[in-house]
Structure formats: C-alpha cells, structure tokens
Chain A
Amino acid sequence: MELFLQQLLDGLATGALYGALALSVVLVYRASGIVNFAQGEMAMFAAFLTWQAHTWGVPLVLAIGLSMLIAFAFGAGVERVLIRPFGTTAAAHLSLIIVTLGLMLVLTSGAGWTWGYLTKQVPPVFGEGVVDVGASAMSRQALGIILAVAVMSVLLYFLFQKTRLGLDMRAAASNPESARLSGIPVGRMLMLGWGLAGAIGALVGALAAPQLFLQPNMMAAMLLYAFAAATLGGFDSPVGALIGGLLVGVLENMAGTYIDIIGNDFKQAVALIIIMAVLLFKPEGLFGSRTVARV
C-alpha cells in the first residue's frame, strides 16, 4: 500500500509536467489546427537558456522568467514566419508536419552544437529535501512542480475565461472568419497562442531539467507522454490535457512498477498504447469535442 501511494505521488508529479507540456500542445492545436512536433524541443532549448543564464550568475527564478519571455517571443515568431504562410487547411497538414519536424531537428542539433551532448546538472528550483505526505514522502521539487503547474493553470483559466483578451483568443480559435469580421486581429491571437505555448514549455523544461538531466534529447520521451496526455484528454481541451497528463503520469508509473513485462525501461510503450487505444476507441478523448466530417 505504501509503495502504491508512493508511486501515485511520484506519478502525479511527473504527470503534472506531462499535463503542462500537453497543454502547450493543445494551445497550438486550438490556434492553428496542427500538432507542433517541435514543442518538446522548444522547451528543451528554453531549459538550456535557463541553465546558461543561471551559470552566468542570474538567480534561478529570474533565469526561468527570462527564458519564458524568450520562448514566448520565439513561439510567436515561429507561428508568424514558419506556420502562417501555409494556411490552416487540411491540405497543408503534411507540409506543416514536415516543417515542425524540421524545426524540431534544428533545435535539437542547435542545442547540441552550442552546448554539447554531455548532460548538465540543473539545480532543482524548489530546493532539495523531502516533505512528508501521510505515510509517504515527496521531494520538495515534486511538490513544487505540482503547485507551479496548478498556479499556472489557474492563471491561464483566468486569462481565457475572465479577460477580454482571453475571449478574443477563444473566438479566433473557434471561428477565425467571424472573429475577423468582429474586428479581432486573428493573426495576432494565433501568435499569442503559440507564444503562450512556448512560455509554458519553457517552464516545463526548467522544472523537468533537474530530473531528466539537461541534454539535447531530453524532451523526446517527454513529448511522447505529452502527446499521450493530449490524446487522452482530447486534443482541443486544455482541462483535458492537464487531467490527461496526471492520468498518464500515474499510469506510466504504475505500469512500470506492477507490470513485469514493461518494467522500468519500457515505460514509453505505455504512451504508445494509450495513444493507439484512445484514437481507436474514443478518438475525441475524454474531454474533447466530437468532430463530424462533412463532404
């Protein structure tokens, strides 16, 4: 039982990160109707920026803030320069998938080129040590991650539900044509969506780096789990992405502990199985909206 509880808590902490990264995938999907395969690598790059700033003597929290700002600008720029020229029709999907894959590769090798492939040690944001939670213990970092993701989600909720800007963004995402006619600068809203996604990714990168050890390929597996989370929650649902992330985190940890054939090394298969199963049996996910194809 104790082991179970411990696994549950560990699963929640990693799940919060998967959920946050899934959230940035979902924000992009809602804005442009595509999956940004470079989302994880953008987060990795931002984590490197954080590390670089920190080694130059900038306090860690400030460094994270800075890299989030840069990631915001970068995300918005990517939308404007690389994505928008192709349009958002289904016919452009192949081109856009290829372009974001290209970006993914450029960022991985760019980070490798600049900082090398040796892992870097990143100090945990919330300090060392453990906190007792009932019968089990949780590291301060894990607890901090859950709290940080929770705070971020609440802020985003307020942005989207309670502010004019959030309303404009939702309008631009759900019906670009009408939004444009009511005077909403749709293009700028899309850039904002991508920018937010980039900033969230930067936060995820900085929070995950101490555990994953910072290196250019650190986010590949993480992105896989984030995709699983987004698929499980429904690709167009931010709430779904967060809940999906927690579920995937817990499932992955449990499967690794209790199912022998999966073990610790083969946990990534859990993500593949989740993605396959959800797409086959409930393609809209838990919280997503059903789409109907019209001829």
Chain B
Amino acid sequence: MSDERRTSGGMGAFGAVRQQLARLREPHAPLDAPTWLRVATFCLVAGVAALLPLYVQPYVNFDLSMVMIYAIVGMGLNLLTGFNGQISLGHSAFFATGAYVAAVAIQDGWHYLAVLPVAVVVTFVLGYLFGLPALRLQGLQLALVTLALAIVTPSAIKRLDDFTKGQEGINLYTAQPPEWTGLERDQWVYLLCLVGVLVAWILTRRLSTGRIGRSLVAVRDNETVARTLGVRSSRTKTMVFAISAAYTGVGGVLYVYVVQFVGPDSFGLVMAIAFISLIVVGGLGTISGAVFGAFFITYVPEWTAGINQAAAGMVYGLSLIIFMFVMPFGIAGLARAALRPVVDRVPGKRGLLSGQGAPTVGGRSAAVDEEELVGS
C-alpha cells in the first residue's frame, strides 16, 4: 500500500516536471513593452556598460569586448537564420574576411578606424554574391554549402598566403587610445565595441520590425504567400544575406582590435558552430538572444578550459541538442516568459501586439500564441 502511494507520488512529481518542461517548449511572443520603458532600459544598460570599463580589470574588459563582438555577429546571423529562415553554417568565413581585411590593411599603414567601412563594403558585397546562388538553395542545401564554406575557410586562408602570411598569421599593434582620452587600450577597445553593439542593436531593431521585418518573417514562414502579397522575396533574401555578412564583417574587424592577431585556425568549423550555438542558446529570431548567446560562447570556453581541452566543444554540442529539445526558443524565450507578468502591468502600452519577429521552431510560430492573446 505504502509502496503504491510512493510510486504514484513519484509519478505526480514526474508529471509536474513534464508539465514544466512542456511549458518551456512553448513559443513566446515578443514582450510588448511600452516605448518609454524600452528606451529607459536601453539607456540604463548603455550607461552602465559605458561606465563599467573604468572600474574593472583589463581582462574583464577584453572578455566583455568579445561578448559584444559575438553579440554583433549573433544579431546579423539571427536576421538571416532566425528572422529570414536561411540557415548559414558558414558565417565564420565572413568573420575571417572582415578580420583579414582589417589586419592586412592596418599592416599596410591604414588607420584602424578607416578599415571598418572597407571591411563592411567587402563583406557586404561578398555576402551579396554568396546570397545570389543561395536563392536557389533551400534549407538543407544551403546548410550544406555554407558548412562546406566553413570547412574550406582555413585552407583558403593558408592558400592565399601572399596576403595572409598563411599559417604564421599576422601580429599587429593597433587600436591605441588617443592621448586626450587618457584611457587604457583595453578600455578604449571596449568602448569601440560598445558603440558597435549599440549601433547594431538599433539597426537590428529597425530591420526586424515594421515593414522590412514583416517581409523577412513572411518569406521565412511561407515564401509563396509572401510573394503573392507583394514581398520581393529574392531581393529580400539576397539583401538580408549581404547585411548579415556585413554585421559579421564588423565583428571580424573589432576582433582584430581586441586580439591583435589573426591566424587561419581560429576561423574554422569550431567558430562556425559556436556561432550557431550562439543564436540557438540565446534564442532564434530575437535580438536580446544574441547578447545572451554571446555571453554563453565567450564564457563557456573559459570556464571549461580547466576541465579538458574538449570540454567546450562538449558543452556546445550538448547545449545544441538539449536546447532544441527542452527550450527551442532559447534564453530569450525564457526571459520573455519570466518578464511578461511584470511588463504586462506597466502602464503606457500601445494597443495591439505587434507580430514581428515571432520565432518559429519546428513549424510552431509564436504568432499563433499572439492571436490567442489578442482574442482574449
């Protein structure tokens, strides 16, 4: 008797856990925070982030700079994969392009800030050119081609050793702070990255909402219908590919500022998969997700380095699988669920919920969720 009760109690607890897990898998609509709250949060975060480097150790500044660089990449990749549904496993190639353009130009005597627009243009054009054939490729095929691109990148860099110095890589001494600022190098580079990530945030917000954002999501969810409704799907897809590549290129340039070294083996398959882990863990089709994911891929290798050389890869791999099973909308999805009750109470909301950027994973769109909310 008592045995039976214990079993049924166990089942009950198990059932409750299952229910909780099932709730994690549900899609969540974007938090529709009132404008004043969003602007205030943005200013607060930006303000704190701007003052932070003055008070912490240099190595913390370098780590946080890397977080911001990855966040920029994540936002670009999320525009492409999360919002537009084109899978790219090869963004490490664009990152490498940005980094090498910067490194080679700086070595040639360019000013380190002058290489930034050059790298943006180069990666934008490269992304555009790569996006043209990508138009004809669907899902799996695009994944294949971009994975191939990621695998080939290091050997391409070694092959072009006239420019890239091949295996040996390029060492630089760059991004020195101007005298008048009185800042240390780590603080200066941190602030450059902060400017980059803030601009990227605003730009991504612009691109992922409103008319452009809606057309991105429409093309992702049903291209034929989108086309019928007047979305120029080919132009949208190539443009978002190019823009996303340019984001990644900027990330590459900033990486050179921080690391002051480029070598072919940094830009291999591992980096490509780290980028995918970034957007999956952070949350596909969200902007804040890129930041969460960036923290993840910056700090996981550091925390696991003491355990084993292979531990970081193991954590990335396991988290890809576990997140897909347990919380396919990533940390951003979780944050939305947690913050919704609070945000919903804040006064000053704009009427209807806007549907842009609702993530889809496995065909279930958060938009469905919203319709119910609007109806109620």
A residues at B contact (CB < 8 Å): 34-35, 37, 82, 85-87, 89-95, 97-99, 101-110, 112-113, 117, 216, 220-221, 224, 227-228, 231, 263, 265-266, 268-269, 271-272, 275-276, 279-280, 283, 295
Contacts and interface: CB of A to CB of B under 8 A. Distances in A.
Among A90, A94, A99, A228, the most chain B Cβ lie within 10 Å of the Cβ of: A94
Interface stretch (B47-55, B148-156, B255-263, B342-350): B148-156
A109 B158 CA distance: 25
SS class of chain A's interface: helix, strand, loop or mixed? helix
A273 to B, nearest CB: 9
14 contacts: A94-B81, A98-B324, A102-B316, A105-B314, A106-B321, A109-B312, A110-B310, A113-B310, A263-B159, A265-B158, A268-B151, A272-B152, A275-B145, A280-B136
B156 A266 contact: yes
B368 interface: no
Given A34-B140, A106-B314, A227-B148, A91 B276 contact: no
A272 to B, nearest CB: 4
B308 A113 contact: yes
Contacts of B89: 101
B139 A268 contact: no
B117 interface: no
B360 interface: yes
Contacts of B362: 86-87, 91-92, 94-95
SS class of chain B's interface: helix, strand, loop or mixed? helix
A86 B141 CA distance: 19
A110 B311 CA distance: 8
A99 B317 CA distance: 8
A276 B129 CA distance: 13
B143 interface: yes
B199 interface: no
Contacts of B361: 94-95
Contact of B155 (A34, A112, A268, A275): A268
Contacts of B119: none
Interface in B22-78: none
Interface of B: 81, 85, 87, 89, 133, 136-137, 139-141, 143-145, 147-149, 151-152, 155-156, 158-159, 224, 269, 273, 276, 280, 284, 308-314, 316-321, 324-325, 328, 360-363
Nearest to A37: B147
B320 A99 contact: yes
B149 A99 contact: no
Nearest to B284: A94
A183 B319 CA distance: 38
Among B151, B156, B360, the most chain A Cβ lie within 10 Å of the Cβ of: B151
B151 A102 contact: no
Given A105-B316, A113-B308, A227-B144, A93 B321 contact: no
A279 B136 contact: yes
Among B133, B144, B156, B312, the most chain A Cβ lie within 10 Å of the Cβ of: B144
Among B136, B140, B224, B328, the most chain A Cβ lie within 10 Å of the Cβ of: B140
B361 to A, nearest CB: 6
Contacts of B325: 85, 99
A259 to B, nearest CB: 12
Closest 9 CB pairs of A and B: A91-B363, A102-B320, A105-B317, A109-B313, A106-B317, A112-B310, A109-B310, A102-B321, A113-B310
Contacts of A279: 133, 136-137, 141, 144-145
A99 B321 contact: yes
Contacts of A268: 151-152, 155
B83 to A, nearest CB: 12
Nearest to B220: A94
Contacts of B280: 98
B256 to A, nearest CB: 24
A115 B310 CA distance: 10
B126 to A, nearest CB: 14
A94 B86 CA distance: 9
A97 B280 CA distance: 12
A37 to B, nearest CB: 7
Among A97, A98, A228, A275, the most chain B Cβ lie within 10 Å of the Cβ of: A98
Given A89-B363, A98-B324, A105-B273, A272 B148 contact: yes
B226 to A, nearest CB: 12
